[in-house]
Amino acid sequence: MAESVTVRAPGKVNLFLAVGPKRPDGFHDLATVFQAIGVYDTITASAAPAGISLTMSHLGEDLPTDDRNLAVQAARLIAERANVDLRERGVHLSIDKHIPVAGGMAGGSADAAGTLVALNELWRKPLAPHALMDIAAELGSDVPFCLMGGTAIGYGRGEVLSPVLARGQHCYLIATMIDGLSTPAVFREFDALNPTPQAAPEVSPTLLHALAQGDTALVAYAFRNDLMTPALNLHRGARHVIEFFCNNSLTVMVSGSGPTLIAQVDSFERGQVLAERLATWPHVADAFVAYGPVPGIELVRTSRRA
Ligand code: C5P
Residues 6 or more apart in contact with residue 112 via CB below 8 angstroms: 70, 71, 73, 74, 136, 139, 140, 143, 146
What confidence tier does 102 reach under pLDDT thresholds 50, 70, 90? Answer: confident
The residue contributing the CA closest to ligand 1 atom 7 is 184
The residue contributing the CA closest to ligand 1 atom 9 is 184
Q: Which of the listed residues 29, 183, 191, 194 should we mutate to test ligand 1's pocket, taking the one with most ligand atoms within 8 A of CB? A: 183
Residue numbering of the annotated binding site = 100-110
Q: Which of the listed residues 135, 145, 187, 234 should we mutate to test ligand 1's pocket, taking the one with most ligand atoms within 8 A of CB? A: 187
Whether ligand 1 lies within 6 angstroms of the CB of 142 is answered as yes
Distance CA 17, CA 87 (A): 42
Whether ligand 1 lies within 6 angstroms of the CB of 257 is answered as no
- pLDDT-above-90 percentage for the chain: 90
Going through 23-180 in order, the beta strands assigned E by DSSP cover 28-48, 52-56, 90-96, 151-155, 160-163, 170-177
Q: Stretch 54-81: mean pLDDT, rounded?
A: 92
Ligand 1 centroid vs 184 CA: distance in angstroms?
6
CATH number of the structural domain spanning residue 264: 3.30.70.890
CATH number of the structural domain spanning residue 68: 3.30.230.10
Type of residue numbered 162: S
> Which residues make beta-bridge pairs with 253?
262
Q: Stretch 189-193: mean pLDDT, rounded?
A: 96
Q: Could you list the residue range(s) of the whole structural domain that residue 119 is in? A: 4-164+294-303
Number of structural domains, the chain? 2
277 and 298 belong to one structural domain: no
Which atom number of ligand 1 is nearest to the Cα of residue 109?
4
The catalytic site residues sit at: 12, 142
pLDDT tens for 222-274 read 999 999 999 999 999 999 999 999 999 999 999 999 999 999 999 999 999 99
What confidence tier does 306 reach under pLDDT thresholds 50, 70, 90? Answer: low
In this prediction, residue 300 carries a pLDDT of 96
Whether ligand 1 lies within 6 angstroms of the CB of 183 is answered as yes
Contacts for 241-244 with beta carbons within 8 Å, 24 or more apart? 241/175, 241/177, 241/278, 241/281, 241/283, 241/284, 244/175, 244/277, 244/278, 244/281
27 and 148 belong to one structural domain: yes
299 and 151 belong to one structural domain: yes
**Is residue 249 within a helix (H) or strand (E), and if so which, with residue range?**
none
- ipTM rounded to 2 decimals: 0.95
Residues 6 or more apart in contact with residue 253 via CB below 8 angstroms: 223, 224, 225, 228, 261, 262, 263
Ligand 1 centroid vs 73 CA: distance in angstroms?
16
156 and 232 belong to one structural domain: no
The answer, yes or no, to whether residue 291 has pLDDT greater than 60, is: yes
288 and 299 belong to one structural domain: no
In this prediction, residue 160 carries a pLDDT of 95
pLDDT tens for 31-67 read 999 999 999 999 999 999 999 999 999 776 788 999 9
pLDDT tens for 127-170 read 999 999 999 999 999 999 999 999 999 999 999 999 999 999 99
Going through 62-210 in order, the beta strands assigned E by DSSP cover 90-96, 151-155, 160-163, 170-177
The answer, yes or no, to whether residue 1 has pLDDT greater than 60, is: no
